[in-house]
Structure 1
Amino acid sequence: MERLNFVAFDVNTVSPPRDVQGITAQLATQVMYDCLILLCENPK
């Protein structure tokens, strides 16, 4: 993923009432974290 040219990223449709065990929220958090790390490692 380091070679990709990120323009933007977002997490869409995390619904707490349907995510009773929090798995989707944990995955969304990890995706956002990974994208932020990539952004910090490769500033424009």
Structure 2
Amino acid sequence: MGVRVPGSEERAFAYLTRASSHANIKLRDVAAGIVDDFVARVDS
């Protein structure tokens, strides 16, 4: 996943909602995947 969404909180939430719907994955799991990817990049 690892996608940055510039802009407002509303835009970020809209991105998460679309990604969740498109992939048929719970929104919290989409968000967790983004956070996990970010942390992995920071830690490496």
- Structure with the greater alpha carbon radius of gyration: 1
Higher helix share: 2
Regarding TM over 0.5, the answer is no
Give the structure-1-normalised TM-score: 0.41
